[in-house]
Amino acid sequence: MTGKLHIVNGDAFGDKLRKSSIDGEILVWRESLYEGPIGMRMSDSLLLPIRASYMFQKHGIPEDMFTSTTLHQEKQLEVLSGEANEIVLWFDQDLFDQLMLCYLLSRLSALHNGAIRLLLIQYDQRVEHPIAQLLSRVSPVTEGQLNIAAKVWSAYSASEPLSLVALMEEDLSELSFLKRALEANLGRYPSMHNGLSGLEQLILEEIDRSEVSLYSLFQQVSEKTSDYGLGDLQFWGMLEQLRLCDHPLLSLSGGDRLPTYGEAMPAQFENWRVRLTDTGRLVLTGKVDHISLNGMNDWVGGVHLLGREHIWRLDAVESRVLKL
């Protein structure tokens, strides 16, 4: 084996790395692991059709394309990592990246069992860093980091959340951004107060008093929830879930549906606005429960949240999840 492989999240950072003329092959990892059903291996033949169907229903991503892209990406990981003697992983602080990092560390550890030198560069993407400065932070991946990543990915993939909640009480400091990212993940569960996740609660709070433009709403929520690494496609999908449920919490003006995968922004999209419905205001104040009213069918890692009752919910005061 010869050569170096860099694994990064996102084409923007991949392009930045290429322009730096850095030595080695660059593999851009494209996978939103905080959406849809999750398993120990994302190319699993039982998991992949379910995940592809989810991505089509939520974002309009063609199932065949999603499936072939996932399989190709996993194959690239095997081939390119097998040709390298050194792999550098570049990942930032948010949940999007930290989940990706745990998955890739667990995959690479299983693939090569210590035969390849693994290096890690972690950074805060909210601050602009020159590539040379980031390179000065490179450090070998430790056995402790590999063990933490494997435990986190196994717990995140589980069909119940208790193992991951328990793991959050352990010392995870060898992966310095991980604890905060997992706290953000915990906030994805519907609350005991009104059935909204932390992000949904913030969305309704931001539009409580008046209509808000979609662009400004996305910007406001993204700035206040930078620990998530929220993208616009994920955000539009979240708004549509709140808008198209049996008893809508939001209403849209300017158009009849939000953009999905591969679609250009509609004309005058900057003027589209969103506001709370009367039901949305009742849910926001805790007078009505969103899950009891609308039910849900979504995933947090390997946990399927389905129906109106016996749903895993977050007790934010005690930082625990209960099935109610």
- Average pLDDT of the segment spanning 258-263: 95
Q: Rounded to an integer, what distance in angstroms lies between the CA atom of residue 7 and that of residue 77?
A: 9
Instruction: Assess whether 203 and 175 both reside in one domain.
Output: no
* Rounded-to-integer distance, Cα 17 and Cα 11, Å: 10
Predicted local distance difference test score (pLDDT) of residue 158 = 98
> How high is the pLDDT of residue 100?
97
- What pLDDT, on the 0 to 100 scale, is given for residue 154? 98
Same-domain status, 300 and 204: yes
Q: Which residues pair with 123 in a beta bridge?
A: 92
Largest Cα–Cα distance in the chain? 63
Same-domain check for residues 296 and 206:
yes
How many percent of the chain have pLDDT more than 70?
Answer: 99
The residue out of 155, 185, 215 marking a domain boundary is 185
213 three-state secondary structure: strand
**Rounded mean pLDDT, 7-16:** 92
Give the end of a domain, one of 126, 157, 185.
Answer: 185
d(CA 104, CA 111) in angstroms, rounded, equals 10
Same-domain pairing of 30 and 145: yes
In a shared domain, residues 24 and 75 = yes
CA distance 149 to 182: 12
**Same domain, residue pair 40 and 178:** yes
Token pair, residue 162, equals 């208790």
Distance CA 120, CA 211 (A): 44
User: Residue 93's pLDDT is what?
Assistant: 95
- Please give the model's pTM, rounded to 2 decimal places: 0.95
The 10s digit of each residue's pLDDT in 116-159 is 999 999 998 888 889 999 999 999 999 999 999 999 999 999 99
pLDDT of residue 128: 87
pLDDT confidence of residue 2? 61
Average pLDDT of the residues in 226-237 = 94
In a domain, 49, yes or no: yes
Indicate whether 132 and 167 sit together in one domain: yes
Residue 190 within any structural domain of the chain? no
What 3-state DSSP class applies to 117? strand
In a domain, 191, yes or no: no
| Domain tally, the chain | 2
CATH of the domain at 165: 3.40.50
Do 102 and 226 fall within a single domain?
no
Query: Do 34 and 83 lie in a common domain?
Result: yes
Whole-number mean pLDDT of the chain?
A: 95
Residues 6, 29 contacting (CB under 8 angstroms): no
Classify residue 218: in a domain, yes or no.
yes
Q: For the domain that residue 238 is a member of, what is the CATH number?
A: 1.10.10
Q: Residues with Cβ < 8 Å from 180, sequence gap 6 or more?
A: 93, 227
pLDDT over threshold 80, residue 1: no
Among residues 135, 153, 185, which one ends one of the domains?
185
Could you tell me if residue 74 is inside a domain?
A: yes
Per-residue pLDDT at 223: 93
Q: What mean pLDDT do residues 65-91 have?
A: 96
Q: Both 240 and 209 in a single domain?
A: yes
pLDDT in tens, 193-206: 999 999 999 999 99
16 and 132 within one domain: yes
- Domain boundaries, position 216: 198-323
Same domain, 55 and 78: yes
Residue 244 reports pLDDT greater than 80: yes
Give backbone dihedrals phi and psi of 140, rounded to 5 degrees, phi first.
Answer: -65, 140
